[in-house]
Each structure stands twice: as C-alpha cells, then as structure tokens.
Amino acid sequence: MLPKELIGLVLFATLKALSILAGLGGGGIAVPIVMAFFMFETKAAVALSSFTILISTSASFVVNWNERHP
C-alpha cells in the first residue's frame, strides 16, 4: 500500500464516519477522495460511494431497530 493510499484510507474513513453521524450519506465527500487518492474513474468512484452509503445506512437501521420513535 502506498503512503498516498494509506492517507486516503484514513481520511475516507474519518470523513465518512463524521458524515454518517451527521445524518448525511457522504457521497459528495467520498467520490472526490476516492478519485484523488485511489485513482478511480468517476463511474467506479460513484459505485463505491453508493455501496458505502448502502452499508452504512443498513448498519444504522440494524442498530436503531429497537428504538422507539420519540
């Protein structure tokens, strides 16, 4: 793994976690990071971003399954 990719991985994970905590999907953050640090093309970066949004919203759904609506 190149140092540039390691920095990109840490930045991607951190910003993605913060955007999920804020209630956003984070696609606007994920696509440029993946393109800049991992040299993905636009189509692949959007697909990866969509997949990470799917996984994060599914995890949030499972965690909040038993919570009652206020």
pLDDT tens digit sequence for 2-52? 999 999 999 999 999 898 888 887 888 899 999 999 999 999 999 999 999
pLDDT at 58: 92
Residue 55 belongs to some domain of the structure: yes
* pLDDT score, position 14: 93
- Domain count across the chain: 1
What's the pTM?
0.81
Q: Tell me, yes or no, whether 70 lies in a domain.
A: no
Q: How far apart are CA 61 and CA 20, in angstroms?
A: 12
Q: Is the model's pLDDT at 55 over the cut of 80?
A: yes
| Amino acid 49: pLDDT | 92
The Cα–Cα gap between 32 and 7 comes to 14
Domain of residue 45, residue span: 3-62
Q: Is the pLDDT of residue 70 over 80?
A: no
